[in-house]
Amino acid sequence: MDISKWDWGTVPAWLGALSLILAFTVFRRDRLNAERGQIDLVGAWSSVEYERSFPDKTPIVEGTVTAHIHNGSQLPVRIVVACYKIESNWLVPDLDATPASHGQTWAFAVTPGTEPPIHFPGDLVATPQTTTEVPFRVNVEHMAPAGAEYLAPSKGIWAKVEWLLVIDNAGRRWEMRPEQGGRAKRVRSWWRPKEHMPRNW
C-alpha cells in the first residue's frame, strides 16, 4: 500500500482538530474543579485527651478522641463515615538499662501498642462555616504490649484520620484521605471500597 497517496489533510485541519481536543480537555478540567469546589473546603483532624499516669498511680487505659470536621463552604455536607485509626505508646520496663534515679527500680522504654483498632464516628451533617466536634471514648488496654505498665506521657493515645466518605450538597459522593495528601476522589459506579468501607452508602 502506497501511503504517499493517502490524504493527510491540511495544516489548518490538523490545527482545528488539536484545538477541539484542547478545548474539550480544558472544559473537562474546569468542570471537575467546579464539582470539587465545595469538597475542597472540607477538612478533618483529631485531638486526644487522656490522663497521664505515673508509677505511684493506677494505670490509665482510656482516653477521649475528638473528631473535628470543618466545613468551610457555604453549603452543608454529609459525613457518612469518618474512619479514625487509634494507636498507643506504652512504658515497658527496660531490664537491660541502668536503673533510673529518684528511687525508681527500672528505666522505661517506650513501646508501641499492638493491633490498633479503628473507630467510626456516626453519620453527621456538617453545617456551613462551622467545625463539628464528635468526642468518643476509647479503651486501649488490649493494645498493651507484654510487660507494659503505663501509657507513655507523650502520644500515649493518639488518632489518625484514615478516610472519610462524604456527600456534598449536590449529592455527589467523595472519598477523602486528609492526612495522606492529594485531593478528594469522586465516587462513581466503578468505585471499589477499601478495607472497612461500606459497600453501599
Residue of 27 and 39 predicted with greater confidence: 39
For residue 2, is it within any domain? no
Total count of domains within the chain:
1
DSSP 119-182: E-PPPEEE-TTEEEEEEEEEE-GGGPPTT--EE-SSSSEEEEEEEEEEE-TTS-EEEE-TTS-S
For residue 195, is it within any domain? no
Reported confidence tier of residue 108, pLDDT bands at 50, 70, 90: low
For residue 192, is it within any domain? no
For residue 108, is it within any domain? yes
For residue 177, is it within any domain? yes
For residue 157, is it within any domain? yes
pTM: 0.73
Enclosing domain of residue 55: 10-186
For residue 92, is it within any domain? yes
pLDDT at residue 132, as a whole number:
93
For residue 194, is it within any domain? no
